Amino acid sequence: MFLRVQELPRVDLFVTTADPVLEPPIITVNTVLSLLALDYPAEKLACYVSDDGCSPLTFYALQQASNFAKIWIPFCNKYHVQVRAPFRYFIHNPEDDSTPEFKQDWLRMKDMYDHLSHKIEEASQRKSIPWQLDGEFAVFSNTERKNHPTIIRYIVAGLAGLQGPFYGGTNCFHRRKVIYDLSPRDVDEKDDLAGNNIPSEKELKQKFGNSEELVKSATLALKGRTYLAHDDTNLSNALEAASHVAGCGYEYGTDWGQQMGWIYGSITEDIQTGLTIHKKGWRSELCTPNPIGFAGCAPIGLPAAMTQQKRWATGMVEIFFSKHCPMLFGKLHFRMVLAYMWATDWGLRSVCEMCYVCLLAYCIITNSSFLPQEQGLWILITLSIIHLINTLSEYLASGLSIREWWNNQRMSRIRTVNAGFIGFLSAIFKLLRISDIVFDITRKDESPSGNDVNETDAGRFTFDESSMFVPGTTILLLQLTAIAIKLLGLQPIKSGNNGCGLGEIMCSAYLIICYWPLLRGLFARGKYGIPLSTICKSAALAFLFVHLCRRTIGD
């Protein structure tokens, strides 16, 4: 690769964080260390960390990590380390046939990382850095998480010797000319901006703002060239220019957030940004190296997972009912429209599923039917079995197990009715201007065993008092009540074949099996049990539904 260094583009890497409690600094540090250790020319690599929480803990952790990086990266290059996030790499001991030199260096690096980790964890537990907020930390002394000035600190330079998939927010590379509002028709065959398409200086300032440095850099980027700072460039002046551009008010009156950069208007700005890029005619490519180049930390525990899913569902509904709706937005390929519709209508599907599961309970309670009887029922059963076998074969072909397939089947039911439905309501309330959407940060934890699962919680669901679990618990209680009414013979008598059939009973039983973790939560205690407040709310809603069903019988 280094034989063609001149052909390699310059890469800016961005790491975002917002809360040192929910997103521990040690996780951010490992992310940054793995990026700095990329096998890429150092002069063409830059890493930026954006902390919306303005935490001195995060800055302190990165400052300490910069010293460790000067030793860690040469170690990775010397021994061709593949997993370059230290907290993952040091999970496993060296192989027995390793050289004595490697074992000695490995132990030295592990001791240094343990020391670094201990210092960061100790500061995180105290929620303060080991010294007063003076010197480099003085700027953090009078700041608030939700109201703070632009703070930019230079810590260390980069070290290291269809139309395509959706933009999913992480592990994506963007060309600057793409996020600068260029379309393929604006670029000639040499991948340069055509001469007659070069905007004037006035137009550039209207698009990019009044920063001379940014306009100069953007002009070169649009032409397919690289902005190179001179050796005599003053670092303080560069930081001052960056601070000016990073200010919250800089983008007002420009195209940032509307046509350029990350598009505003939804908490799932990644999908909206990718949609805008595809609308302009650009293509995206999927790259899946083996081993995987980048991996993230999945939320541990059901509450954190549901919070993340709810945020995504809310953002998707926002996009669906906005001017960026895939059916109305730009000139996307027809199949690309279908793909984006599949993604953005996820929150809407929760409404359909909620109606379906309520209809099941209603039919059993009132002894009515909405599914076909006898031969028609077996056609639906056959189609359902074919669908299940098809999805199972896809899982097995991907190297996944039957257990993983089943876990996903039941979680798709739990996720849709709980997180999806609450996310849909949140988006509707915002559209009706009843309430605003709160951006919920997902907790990220470092697993000591490296498998992202706390051994004490392995295979068990945890719950909290969030309203997220009210819809699912209500549906479970409804299905249990409906089955009990059927078994106890409390249904009204219907003449002919108009009564509740086998299809409704089978579907209700299948739902109860899918909701088995919630059923266990009704009887468990502590964090493994559904809180009493949630059970009471769900029981009240279930009782109201049964009462209304009974009233329809009387009418």
Most confident of 27-31, 249-253, 518-522: 518-522
Question: What would the 3-class secondary structure string for 286-303 be?
Answer: CCCCCCCCCCCCCCCCHH
**Per-residue confidence at 4, pLDDT binned at 50, 70, 90?**
low
- Band of pLDDT at residue 159, cut at 50, 70 and 90: very low
% of the chain residues with pLDDT over 70: 79
- Residue 196's pLDDT is what? 53
CB neighbours of residue 313 within 10 Å: 28
Q: Is 140 helix (H, G, I), strand (E, B) or coil?
A: helix
Q: Which of 7, 3, 40 is nearest to 191 (CA)?
A: 7
> Could you tell me how many helices (H) and strands (E) the chain has, helices first?
19, 2
The average pLDDT across 185-214 equals 70
Give CA–CA dist 112/549, Å, rounded: 67
pLDDT tens digits, 353-399: 999 999 999 999 998 888 887 778 888 889 999 999 999 999 999 88
When mean pLDDT is compared across 87-91, 148-152, 472-476, the lowest value belongs to: 148-152
> Angle 235-246/212-222 helices, nearest 10 degrees?
90
Q: Over range 291-319, report the average pLDDT.
A: 80
- Considering 46-55, 199-208, 287-296, 528-537, the range whose residues carry the highest mean pLDDT is 528-537
Q: How far apart are CA 354 and CA 315, in angstroms?
A: 19
Mean pLDDT score of the chain, rounded to an integer?
Answer: 79
- 3-state class of 374 per DSSP? coil
254, 146 Cβ separation under 8 angstroms: no
Mean pLDDT throughout 176-188? 73
Model confidence band, residue 230 (pLDDT cutoffs 50, 70, 90)? low
Identify which has the larger pLDDT, 469 or 448.
Answer: 469
Q: How far apart are CA 486 and CA 385, in angstroms?
A: 25
- 187 close to 180: Cβ distance less than 8 angstroms: no
52 catalytic, yes or no? yes
Distances in Å between the alpha carbon of 536 and those of 196, 438, 468, 500?
68, 26, 14, 29
pLDDT of residue 283: 80
Are 494 and 368 contacting, i.e. CB atoms less than 8 angstroms apart?
Answer: yes
Q: What is the pLDDT of residues 103-149, one digit of tens each?
A: 899 999 999 999 999 888 888 777 555 555 445 545 555 555 555 44
Burial bucket for residue 459 (CB in 10 Å: 0-12, 13-18, 19+): exposed
Task: For the beta carbon of residue 360, count every other beta carbon within 10 angstroms.
Answer: 25
Check 51, 105, 181, 270 and give the catalytic one: 270
Top-confidence residue, 188 or 154? 188
Pure H helices in 327-469: 334-344, 346-366, 375-397, 402-415, 421-431
Q: Is the pLDDT of residue 228 over 50?
A: yes
Distance CA 61, CA 221 (A): 33
What per-residue confidence (pLDDT) applies to 531? 92
Domain residue spans of the chain: 1-161, 162-229+251-287, 303-325+348-437+466-554
pLDDT at 200 over 80: no
Task: Return the pLDDT at 515.
Answer: 93
The mean per-residue pLDDT over the stretch 268-291 comes to 79
Give the per-residue pLDDT at 187.
Answer: 67
Model pLDDT, residue 242: 77
Instruction: Give the confidence band of 516 by pLDDT, cuts at 50, 70, 90.
Output: very high
**Cβ neighbours, 10 Å, residue 449:** 10
The answer to whether 512 and 520 have CB atoms below 8 angstroms apart is no
> Which of 253-257, 431-435, 451-455, 531-535 is least confident?
451-455
pTM for the whole structure: 0.75
Alpha carbon distance 233, 214 (integer Å): 15
Report how far Cα 308 is from the mean position of its chain's Cα atoms. 7
Of 17, 5, 9, the residue nearest 442 (C-alpha): 17
191 in active site? no
Query: What's the pLDDT score for residue 274?
Result: 83
Which candidate in 19, 52, 440, 464 is catalytic? 52
